[in-house]
Amino acid sequence: MARQPNLGSSLLLFATTFALAGCYNGPSVNGSFSRTYTVSGPIRLELSNASGDADITEGAAGTVSIHAEVRASGFGFENPQKRLDDIVSDPPIEQRGDTIRIGKDFSRMRNVSITYKIQVPHETEVDASVASGAQNIRGLRGPVKVRSASGSINVEKIDRDIQLFTASGSISAENVGGDVQVSSASGNVTIANIKGDARVHVVSGVVRISQPGGRVDGSTTSGEVEIQGAANDVTAHSVSGRVYVQGNPGTQGYWNLRTASGGVQISVPPSASFHLSAEAVSGEIRTDVPIVVEEQGKHSLRARMGSDGGRVEVRTVSGEIRVSGT
């Protein structure tokens, strides 16, 4: 899996770029605009928005349809109505070949909020950046890349890889045909039904991954990590929170499970075969499945389940380690 970029520095630069555009003062006025563009073949959609939700879904082949609700505000000598009229009559959209760009002219977006509803052909790649607002993307080929300073991100039914980054807000991704890469400074992350690898890193929040098709790397500083249906390599780390993994490491899998403060629970089927190495600095180690003990101490255990298989290494500083059956 690729090395994760630094979330803090990239989102700080992103949020600073939009800082002035997202400040509202004084009364506001509202308007809207709609535009339709003809395209052919696979396209790329680039969206930049200071404030406002974005909903991007599959529509008719060969057509990009954009509807926007606009709110402009200002104070002093500013004229919000003039700014609104300017945006409605000349929307911040351009088409260049197979690329549609929305909202690239930041100078026009000061004290403006735009909510977009966009329909694109299935064969669409998306690169979206929103400073404040929810983003929903569904039913596309992808790949999809989303950045947010503040707001939830929801992605569903994407054929290819997705990359999601947020400073504050929940993230969910479901039914993805490729790899999933997620970084969040603050917010819960839920990933379900993906065919590729999942790499999820959260500073503060819960990580939940179910039915991954490939390898899993999930970590959080404050919160729990829960993985269900694991069938390949798993790395699950939490500084403060529980780690739970359900699945089967198989004959070649390697599970590396760590937590400083919190318990670790592993749930495996009766047919599982693996070598277990567990250490609980301050806590018990319990097994509710048949194992062959190779070496055991007060706070450590080396054992195997079945005849052969993968490796499971578990360590907790403060908390219980438990291996149970499904």
Q: Torsion angle, CA of 4/9/14/16, rounded to 10 degrees?
A: 170
CA nearest neighbour of 123 among 94, 100, 148? 100
Q: Looking at residue 104, what is its pLDDT?
A: 75
Token duo for residue 214: 């490939």
Tokens of 26: 């004084």
Q: What is the pLDDT of residues 183-234, one digit of tens each?
A: 999 999 999 999 999 999 999 999 999 999 999 999 999 999 999 999 999 9
Dump pLDDT digits (tens) for 263-277: 999 999 998 999 999
Tokens of 316: 């907790």
Residue 2 corresponds to which tokens in the numbers above? 């690729």
The pLDDT, as a whole number, for residue 83 is 85
pLDDT digits (tens, 9 = 90+) for 145-176: 999 999 999 999 999 999 999 999 999 999 99
CA 52 to chain centre: 19
Residues with Cβ within 8 Å of residue 102, at least 6 apart in sequence: 45, 46, 47, 48, 49, 66, 92, 93, 116, 118
Domain boundaries, the chain: 224-326
The alpha carbon dihedral of 77, 81, 82, 86 has a sign of: positive
Q: Give the Cα-Cα-Cα angle 194, 304, 282 (nearest 5 degrees).
A: 85
Classify residue 269 as exposed, middle or buried by CB count within 10 Å of its CB (0-12, 13-18, 19+). exposed
CA distances for 31 relative to 14, 161, 289, angstroms: 27, 36, 64
Q: Write the pLDDT tens digit of every residue in 39-77.
A: 998 999 999 998 999 999 999 999 999 999 999 987 555
Of the chain, the percentage scoring pLDDT greater than 70 comes to: 90
Contact 281, 317 (CB under 8 A): yes
Instruction: Give the per-residue pLDDT at 17.
Output: 46
